[in-house]
Structure 1
């Protein structure tokens, strides 16, 4: 896969995730234009506010996970990753979010790796549950651990292969797998690797190590 292919996949993923909240904004505006009842107009305002917040949260997350978020500094405040993840998962009542990252700053590559692995684990909690994100610095380097637990955890074989081996032999990648490809590429570039727990209907654990330079 070349850079153009990856950019196309990331753009497709971004558009897919923004379609719902932006569509809700459009629906809310249309309802506001025709609605005269004060109570219903208040409901429309609430809908618009919720949709605008969801859109902003997703944009903030993808800017850090896929884009050039964090400016030109070599290291980024880890709290930015926490806020970004809370924006897309913590606000959802169906997913309880836990943060156990000890370093105060993360390299750009490490932050993107952490965010993409967390997104994959969160997406696998199709019926909700708990998402715990952890990272600590050891003698080997930065160790990342993501744990998702819920009544139904789904991570298909294609994503598993992408995370551990990279692009499949046939070279076909769907937009939803863009984050997995990027995570695997980031880990490989850093000289590290990604590990997955055995398939389970209730628990998914994703681990990665970013070796010291």
Structure 2
């Protein structure tokens, strides 16, 4: 989703960490021009009515459902120079570390 927003190229940064019993994943896309349909962001956050799903928003909706089923959540933040996508998921049992 983030790389599709970089229509004129740019930088994609990915980070992940374990904190307070949760896995946090962040993807940041930055570049000279971003193209991001905020309906996709609303689908990621579970704010899009399922009747409004389309071929562009369905994958984001599916990711939202998977995150919710795991006990976590997704969010996005769009600014003129960056798109930040984040996920927080509970730490699974049996993880080493």
Does the alignment reach a TM-score above 0.5? yes
Contact 1:159-1:180 at 8 Å conserved across structures: yes
The answer for the alignment partner of 1:204 in structure 2 is 83
Alpha-carbon distance in 2 for matches of 1:211, 1:180: 19
Match of 1:122 in 2: 3
What SS is found at the alignment partner of 2:39? helix
Pair member with larger Rg:
1
Contact in 1 for aligned 2:46/2:61 (Cα 8 Å): no
More helix by share: 1
TM norm structure 1:
0.40
Deviation at 1:212, TM superposition (A): 2.4
Picking from 40, 57, 77, the partner of 1:177 is: 57
Residue 28 of structure 2 aligns to a residue whose secondary structure is strand
Q: Which residue of 2 aligns with 1:187?
A: 67
1:136 CA drift (Å): 1.4
Unaligned runs of 5+ in 1: 1-119
CA distance in 2, matches of 1:179, 1:133: 19
Does the 8 A contact of 2:39 with 2:48 survive in 1? no
3-state secondary structure, aligned to 2:79: coil
The alpha-carbon deviation at position 166 of structure 1 amounts to: 4.9
Task: Give the number of equivalent residue pairs.
Answer: 92
Question: Counterpart in 2 of 1:159?
Answer: 40
TM-score by length of 2: 0.83
